[in-house]
Amino acid sequence: MNERNLVSPFALSGKRELHTLVENRRAYTLSHCELNIYETYQRSELVPLTFDDLVITSMLRGKKVMHLFDKPGFDYLPGETVIVPPNVTMTIDFPEASELNPSQCTALAINHHEIKSTLDFLNENYPRADDDLWKLNYQQFHFFNNHELAQLINKLISISTGDVLTKDVLANLTLKELLIRIMQMQNLHIVQDNMQQLSTGNRFAYILQYIKNHLTEKLNIDALSQMAYMSKASFFRAFKHEMGISPVDYIIKERIQFAKQLLHNPYCTIADACFKAGFNNQHYFSRAFRKITGTTPSFYKAGIIRGMN
């Protein structure tokens, strides 16, 4: 599920506001977090950046190449988010930055006590299935924004840079939801990436493996809930609680991803992709495709054909 949902770019600094052309910083400090907005206007390499707290970064404009955790550098683009633990240095290249094409990125530093209180509250009042704990996983540190994550980051930017008297309270509530969404995305990625190994001891890994193996067939939610040894209502609630998405929406997204792969075959028609991906109504398929990808199947197919010519 690799659709990028963009965070709205923030207004660029005026020339008189710039103190440097590399990672010029504007900061907005609240009671439990600090929002930093960085802009770079010239090509640069190996620029270090370190925070004392956990930081959630999101690309708004341009391109970076990130070097993190002694891993190979990776492209960092709008629609993507990276989380970095306290006191870990990011080393950043800006291969395309210029006055006409600046890079812009947010870095949201969150107070350690706020993170701990959120995790303690969740583990005490909303425990995860199978005795797992709510926690941030730094092995899953780079991911594409889903709609909910992008909206929350947009909301935090609006709150932090605004002048509402209750901004600290509003930001605190939004922070908690943002942390939950990130952990749900991480849970889903972990299970998806390791579903075969986890399927014997994790009911949701087993379900995701079953969905993957039977994606093009008719999938019955009642049958899936029975496989998880849960009532239908409990299954829906637990699946969304763990993964941040309902089982029905998950199946639809996976089918759309498969349909996109099929459409890369020049001999595969839109109708073929629809039915081979497990849909039984072409109109519904087109609506679902547009909702998830932002474009229609025919427009997507036309773009592939243009790219081949």
Return the domain boundaries, the chain.
15-189, 194-244, 249-308
> What's the distance, CA 308 to chain centroid?
30
The model's pLDDT over 19-43, given as tens digits with 9 standing for 90+, comes to 999 999 999 999 999 999 999 999 9
What pLDDT does 4 receive? 73
Does residue 16 carry a pLDDT above 70?
Answer: yes
The DSSP secondary structure of 3-42, one letter per residue, reads ---PPPPPPPPPGGG-S-SSSEEEEEE-SSEEEEEEEE-S
Does residue 308 carry a pLDDT above 70?
Answer: no
Distance CA 53, CA 45 (A): 24
CB 126 within 8 A of CB 175: no
> If pLDDT is split at 50, 70 and 90, which confidence band does 125 have?
very high
Average pLDDT over residues 64-74: 94
> If pLDDT is split at 50, 70 and 90, which confidence band does 196 have?
confident
What pLDDT does 304 receive? 80
What pLDDT does 129 receive? 78
The model's pLDDT over 158-173, given as tens digits with 9 standing for 90+, comes to 999 999 899 999 999 9
Q: Which CATH number is 15-189's, of 2.60.120.280, 1.20.1560.10, 3.40.720.10, 2.90.10.10?
A: 2.60.120.280
Average pLDDT over residues 184-207: 90
Distance CA 305, CA 300 (A): 9
**E strand spans, the chain:** 24-29, 33-40, 44-49, 54-61, 64-67, 74-76, 80-84, 90-94, 103-110, 142-144
Residues in Cβ contact with 143 at an 8 Å cutoff, skipping those fewer than 6 apart: 80, 81, 185, 186, 189
Does residue 56 carry a pLDDT above 90?
Answer: yes
What pLDDT does 73 receive? 95
Does residue 3 carry a pLDDT above 70?
Answer: no
Tell me the CATH architecture of domain 249-308.
Orthogonal Bundle (1.10)
Does residue 49 carry a pLDDT above 90?
Answer: yes
Distance CA 220, CA 289 (A): 21
Distance CA 257, CA 251 (A): 10
